[in-house]
Amino acid sequence: MYEAKSKEIVLRRVREALAKSAPFLPPTPDFSSRLHQEPSEDQSIEFAQAFIRNSGLFVYCENEEDFFDQLYALKREQNIQHLHVWEPNVQRILHHAGIEFTSTEEDFLQKAQASLTTCEALITRTGSILVSSANAGGRRLSIYPETHMVVAKASQLVPDIKDGLQHIRNKYQDNFPSMVSLVSGPSRTADIEKTLVMGAHGPKQLVLFLIDDLPH
């Protein structure tokens, strides 16, 4: 008797709810609009701020000659004896600048102290470096040594991640790289007792040399 009465009450409430007009529905959001604000006119400043927040070491270079000076000074300051460079174009400019580097597989396996690579793009909003397996640096040079150095140009700055991925798609067309990765600061983890540990799964230090190649 009680169960039947309770059932009738529930059914009556359902009928009353159905008789009411539907509640106001908010307008459909515009999914084509940008989720984040447009970057500032000087993307290099916005990128640098985000990159430094990610614990990266940002080095501004007025030109290529300044890059050689800054790289040489950093090598001396941090006592980097073994700088691994595999990309022929980077090897060529370092050779002409008189900066020592190593390029053999044997040296890399035994003395992976630091590496220097290029990148595909720089993501302004997140302060991240977009790398791929398409260049001669491959997959290992950006993750195995304790210090990963990247040399890039200001013209490689793009507003957001999707812009960087579109750049890679336009550049490689059907030959899309087998690995594309975003590097946002040194490797880190806080899995063990919530204590932040740097270099847990990769480089302990990430350095970016940004060469200003934009017109002023």
Q: Is 179 helix (H, G, I), strand (E, B) or coil?
A: coil
Structural domain boundaries enclosing 155: 41-189+196-211
**Domain-embedded: residue 35:** no
Element (H, E) at 84: strand 83-84
Pairing mode of beta strands 121-123, 128-132: antiparallel
- Identify whether 140 is part of a domain: yes
Question: Taking Cα atoms as reference points, which of 60, 56, 107, 64 lies closest to residue 85?
Answer: 107
Domains of the chain: total:
1
Domain assignment present for residue 155? The answer is yes
Residue 32 lies in a domain: no
- CA–CA distance, 63 with 79 (Å, rounded to integer): 24
Q: Is residue 110 part of a domain?
A: yes
CATH number at residue 132: 3.40.50.10420
pLDDT tens for the chain, residues 1 to 216: 555 567 777 777 777 776 766 666 667 766 676 655 666 668 999 999 999 999 999 999 999 999 999 999 999 999 999 999 999 999 999 999 999 999 888 888 777 899 999 999 999 999 999 999 888 777 788 888 999 999 999 999 999 999 999 999 999 999 999 899 999 888 655 555 555 455 456 689 999 999 999 886
Separation between Cα atoms, residue 78 and residue 69, nearest integer Å: 14
- In sequence order, what are the beta bridge partners of 197? 189
Residue 132 lies in a domain: yes
Tokens of 70: 């800054």
Residue pLDDT, tens place only, 111-152:
789 999 999 999 999 999 999 988 877 778 888 899 999 999
